[in-house]
Amino acid sequence: MVVVDEAHCISVWGHDFRPAFKRIINLVNLLPKGLPVIAVTATATKRVEKDIADQIGGGITVIRGSLMRENFRLYVIKVKSEDEKMIWLGGNIMNLPGSGIIYTGTRVNTEIYSRWFDYLNIKTSSYNAGLDSGSRIEIEKGLIENRWKCVISTNALGMGIDKPDIRFIIHTQIPQSPIHYYQEIGRAGRDGKPAIIILFYNPEDKSLPESFIEGGRPAIKKYEQVIQEIYNEPLGIKDLMRRTNMKQTPVRVIKADLIEQGIIREALYGRNKKLEYIPGAPKLDTAVFEELRMVKTAELNKMGEYIDIQGSRMKFLCDFLGDTYASEYSNCDNTGIKKITITDDPVMNKTLAEFRENYFPELKVESVRSNIVNGVASSYYGVSNVGAAIHRCKYEQGGDFPDFLLIQTLRAFRKRFGNDKFDLLVYVPPTTSGNLVSNLAVRLSSVLKIPVSHKLGKIRLTKEQKIFENASLKHDNVKDAFKYENPGEISGKRVLVFDDVFDSGSTMKEIGNYFTKLGAVLIAPLVIAKTVGGDLDDQ
Amino acid sequence: MINNAAYWIALAHLPGWRNERINNIILRFHHEQKTGIEDFFQLTEAEWENSYGLNEKEIRDLVNAKSEISNNSFLAESLQNQGYELIPITSPDYSGTLKENLKIKYSPAVLYLKGNRKILYEKSVAIVGSRNASDTSLKFTDNIAKLASKEYKVVVSGFARGVDKQALDSVLKYKGQSIIVLPQGITTFSSGFKTYYRQIVDGDILVLSVFHPKVPWRTDLAMARNSIIYGLANEIYVAESSESGGTWSGVKDGIRKHRIILVRKPEAGEKNANLQLIKLGAIPVDFDGNRIKEVYNTEQHAAKEPGTVEEPEENTIDTIKSILQYKPLTIKEILGKIGSGWTRNSLTNYLKKQDFIEIKKKGNKNLFNLKGTEEKREPTLF
């Protein structure tokens, strides 16, 4: 027998279409006669069901079960800010039974929420698609073993998690559609015991899924560029990222769409998968994208309706998914369960303010072969006034970095490396921005009493890292680009490396590798701001 | 990909089975029983034995092959996903030229393809020859490829060094089309697919293999591949052959199968076996591939060339036997196949003296037959 799990991934109309699942249809048609095939999913709308049945052709029997989950307790909590979500969670999460999952919309938020709980001494772990597979498996294992109160995650966590006793699932961010939502909350309470399901909603939150829908597809020009590159030569995903200077996610989106439209296919060249052009392929059909965009917008609006409905929330979700079973619905805050409302919590409010002042983003750069350690940034670039100040100085002749950046950076340093001793402060030689970084390094040096060195230079010209959209190109840009004037000086030293902005980490990692080679025992990165995003986005 | 590809993969690569044995089974279920390959595999072992006359070893092979069908489905899906095609012999898409030339005895049960399938149905020319061919042979190859491309004929070649590679390069130079016949499974040809990527995308090259898709290059496959090259071609040109090796045995095999084989007439002093092939029945051609019409006195010619060896009479007898092994022929037909060196009278007198020959009357014609053979009829399916 062949069993297909998460079968909704077969359909482009499913909320989580995966091109590789399309191959299952072909496989099913090629299997020997009489071999039974069963495909299961908890989340297929009528449209998805029909699409899959049409693709498989005759000989399929559809069986639908009831989607009603009586043990769920569904709540919607309306808030006016991100702070209100954090305050409520800070004050209430320990009162929730057992362990659970908090879904945030972005990676940065998984980090911020996780550090917020750290601050409150609540044990949590954060999870996103950018983690290496070892870490992901470890976190999934920890979740199953109830090692933490909760795991804070993007939507990357979930499929394949088999934990019967997830007692609560909380969304700090509105999902893209009722199907996404049902799929994600469906992981709670599989043991049949009560599970608390909370959705926070701040009207501003809709802009994130809206931007996913609007900007979910790269520009048509990018599609055409990819087609042209593949027409000339068979290419892997990494090759394409280099050729087109695009991040991994948009390249993957384009790949999936072009495979779906029969313009390219993936073939093995030796052991490498490469994309090749299909001779006589049709032209790119952009009308499909528009149709999908409209469907997705309608689905997001449906999710908006879920917030404001007066009737049963469970029934609303079941109806959306095409469930026709008649059930009694009394398991939400519209049908007999007391609503949760935000009340003022002055203590927690003060604690959050303190947290915000002491929160410094971590720079994850550690690796086995390098003596570099994870560093710290004084703030996120683009989230606070720090980014704006840097931009003014770098690109608008705004003069030296202002004092508050120095103070903020010193605070980040003390928070992260306050107990460490350093022998040397080295700064990253600039590409274009003159003496800004070296001047601030000198000032840091005099406050911290760590001697500053001006000896790290570049042996070849590099471009500004920000013009490269992906880590491979950034890595190439700085590879073997640095040279220390007096290499012997680094041996046996503990080195603090300072820069203004940290983006993919390629530069810091390269310097870490170089200094490790020169014999440094510890390399610690310190920057003013860390950009939001990086190379791999969830979504 | 056809839905029953997994079954065809099972049947086509039965270990040690000759094509003829497999084709006879296909004939029986497809042509006589009018059923499908799935039904054949559903039969009991007793039915295989009784209805298909299979012996114990053959039944064991089939049982093993049947147990692999589910796995073959995964292979077939992977092939499909990567743009490979599988064409069984019962398909109207199968090469008619190949069936006509190789008949039930030698036609492979399936073809694996990647590239422009339409090339398979064009008029075709094979250019074969040694891996270490002389400059003259390579120039001849280039010229034949040029003429073929000009006439929109497809050039079939075997992707070996020397003549094969020249044939392919020349076709691409003259904007023609080519079929590459692989001595290996089609999924093991990555470097070639990379090298000829653009030509495949543009529809100028078709890659074809008859072996299990995953089997790597082997000498015996290279030999077996030769008969496919000959089979796919309407015309066969030999640029250069040595006295042994793939080209030599391939051409002899072709002559035995009554193919018209056009061999470049060598210049004086050339050290190759082209003349021997001509004596065996191949037809000499000039630089432009035109048949050399004058009576070709092999003895005289050979006398001028110290490098060649005179054909022993034994070979002539073998050739005649091979020409006649399928059905009796008239003296004119034998002359056409055996080539030059004989007149109608001298050949008739020669044949009458041989004890392995009998003469049969058919209407007012004399047919020369090999003693002890009955006329066989080819099945019409093929």
For residue B356, the model assigns a pLDDT of 82
Torsion, Cα of A213, A214, A216, A220 (10° steps): 140
Among B43, B201, B214, most A C-beta atoms within 10 A, so best to mutate, is: B201
Greater confidence, B204 or B271?
Answer: B204
Question: Is residue B316 scored above 80 in pLDDT?
Answer: no
Higher pLDDT, A474 or A487: A487
In the prediction, which pLDDT does B374 show?
61
Nearest to B162 by CA among B243, B236, B238, B271: B238
Residues of chain A above pLDDT 90, percent: 54
Q: State what percent of residues in chain A have pLDDT above 70.
A: 97
Mean pLDDT comparison of A63-67, B189-193, B254-258, B378-382, highest-scoring range:
B189-193
Higher pLDDT, B209 or B351: B209
B370 pLDDT above the threshold of 70: yes
A341 versus B302: which is more confidently predicted? Answer: A341
DSSP-assigned beta bridge partners for residue B114: B207
Whether residue A31 and residue B203 make contact (CB cut-off 8 A), yes or no, is no
- Whether A170 shows a pLDDT value over 60: the answer reads yes
Q: Would the pLDDT of A471 be above 50?
A: yes
A534: confidence class by pLDDT, cuts 50, 70, 90: very low
pLDDT for A461 equals 78
Contact A276/B202 with Cβ under 8 angstroms?
A: no
Q: Sign of dihedral through CA atoms B155, B158, B163, B165?
A: positive
Residue A30 is nearest to which of B1, B187, B193, comparing CB atoms? B1
Tens of pLDDT along A289-330?
898 889 889 999 999 999 999 999 999 999 999 888 878 889
Determine contact: A397 vs chain B, CB below 8 A.
Answer: no
State yes or no: pLDDT of B369 exceeds 50. yes
Cross-chain Cβ contact B70/A269 below 8 Å: no
Residues of A whose CB is below 8 A from B80: 26, 30
Mean pLDDT of B336-348: 75
pLDDT score, position A433: 58
CB contacts, 8 Å: A31 with chain B: 6, 70, 73
Residue B301: pLDDT over 80: no
Binning pLDDT at 50, 70 and 90, where does residue A375 land?
very high
**pLDDT score, position B354:** 81
Mean pLDDT of A319-347: 90
Question: A31 vs B70: CB contact, 8 Å cut-off?
Answer: yes
Please write the tens of the pLDDT for every residue from A43-100.
888 888 888 888 877 778 989 888 899 999 999 999 998 889 999 999 999 999 999 9
pLDDT band per the 50, 70, 90 thresholds, residue A234: very high
pLDDT surpassing 70 at residue B261: yes
Q: Which of A27, A266, A279 sits opposite B200 (nearest CB)?
A: A279
User: For B359-363, what is the mean pLDDT?
Assistant: 81
Query: What residues of chain B lie within 8 A of the CB of A276, using their CB?
Result: 83, 197, 201
Task: Flag if B115 and A279 touch (Cβ within 8 Å).
Answer: yes
Residue B28 one-letter amino acid: R
Judging contacts by C-beta atoms under 8 Å, the chain B residues touching residue A232 are: 198
Q: Which two tokens stand for residue B362?
A: 């058919």
pLDDT at A533: 58
Backbone CA torsion sign across A76, A155, A39, A292: positive
Name the 3-class secondary structure at B251. helix
Residues of chain B with Cβ-Cβ distance to A21 below 8 Å are none
Interface test with A, best of B190, B195, B204, B214 (most A CBs within 10 A): B190
Residue B295 has pLDDT above 70, yes or no: no
> In this complex, do B197 and A267 lie within 8 Å of one another by their Cβ atoms?
no
Which one, of A518, A527, A522, lies nearest residue A498 by Cα? A527
Q: Give the pLDDT score at B97.
A: 94
**pLDDT: which is higher, B165 or A467:** B165
Report yes or no: B178 at the A interface, CB cutoff 8 Å.
Answer: no
Cβ-Cβ contacts under 8 Å, B193 against chain A: 234, 267, 269
pLDDT at A384 over 80: no
Average pLDDT score over chain A: 89
In a mutational test of the A interface, the residue from B84, B191, B197 whose CB has the highest number of chain A CBs within 10 Å is B197
Q: How confident is the model at residue B303 (pLDDT cuts 50, 70, 90)?
A: very low
Q: CB neighbours of A505 closer than 8 A, spacing ≥ 6? A: A363, A364, A365
The percentage of residues in chain B with a pLDDT greater than 90, rounded to a whole number, is 65
Tell whether the torsion through CA atoms of A121, A122, A128 and A132 is positive or negative: positive
DSSP per-residue string spanning A118-161? HHTT--EEEE-TTS-HHHHHHHHHHHHTT-SSEEEE-TTS-TT-
A contact test, residue of B73, B75, B79 with most A CBs within 10 A = B73
Question: Smallest CA–CA separation between A514 and chain B, in Å?
Answer: 37
| CA of B63 vs chain A CAs: smallest distance (Å) | 15
pLDDT score at B152: 95
B216 Cβ under 8 Å from any chain A Cβ: no
* Residue of B49 and B304 predicted with greater confidence: B49
pLDDT at B180: 97
Average pLDDT over residues B222-243: 93
Is B258 exposed, middle or buried (CB count within 10 Å of its CB: 0-12, 13-18, 19+)?
middle
Q: Nearest CA of chain A to the CA of B288: how many Å?
A: 34
pLDDT of A538 strictly over 70:
no
User: Which chain A positions have a beta carbon within 8 Å of B200's beta carbon?
Assistant: 279
Residue in chain B closest to A22 (alpha carbons) equals B81
Q: Please identify among residues 109-168 of chain B the ones whose CB lies closer than 8 Å to any CB of chain A.
A: 115-116
Indicate the pLDDT class of residue B63, thresholds 50, 70 and 90: very high
Chain B, window 231-270: residues with a beta carbon less than 8 angstroms from a chain A beta carbon: none
User: Are A360 and A345 within 8 A, CB to CB?
Assistant: no
Q: Which residue of chain B comes nearest to A271, CA vs CA?
A: B190
The closest CB to that of A26, out of B38, B80, B187, belongs to B80
In tens, the pLDDT along B84-134 reads 999 999 999 999 999 999 999 999 999 999 999 999 999 999 999 999 999
Which has more pLDDT, A142 or B355?
A142
Using the Cβ of A160 and the Cβ atoms of chain B, whether some distance falls under 8 Å is answered with: no
pLDDT band at B380 (very low <50, low <70, confident <90, very high): very low
Residue A160 confidence (pLDDT): 67
Report the candidate in A405, A455, A402, A404 with the shortest Cα–Cα distance to residue A425: A455
Interchain proximity B1–A26, CB inside 8 Å: yes
Residue that is written with structure tokens 């496989």 in the block:
A27
On chain A, the residues whose CB falls within 8 A of the CB of B190 are 268-270
Chain A residues 10-69 with a CB less than 8 Å from chain B:
23, 26-27, 29-33, 35
The whole-number pLDDT of residue B314 equals 57
Tell me how close the Cα of B326 comes to any Cα of chain A, in angstroms: 39
pTM value is 0.73
Quick one: pLDDT band at residue A108, thresholds 50, 70, 90? confident
When CB atoms are compared, the residue of A23, A266, A269 closest to B194 is A269
Q: Is the dihedral of CA A48, B75, B224, B168 positive or negative?
A: positive
Residues 236-275 of A with CB under 8 A from B: 265-270
Sheet with A166-171, edge to edge strand ranges:
A72-78, A195-201, A166-171, A99-103, A150-153, A124-127
Closest C-alpha to A379, from A400, A398, A357: A357
At A382 the pLDDT is 65
Task: Give pLDDT, residue A357.
Answer: 78
Inter-chain touch B116–A30, beta carbons under 8 Å = no
- Within 8 A of B7 by CB-CB distance, chain A residues are 32
Given a cut of 50, whether residue B309 has pLDDT beyond it is no
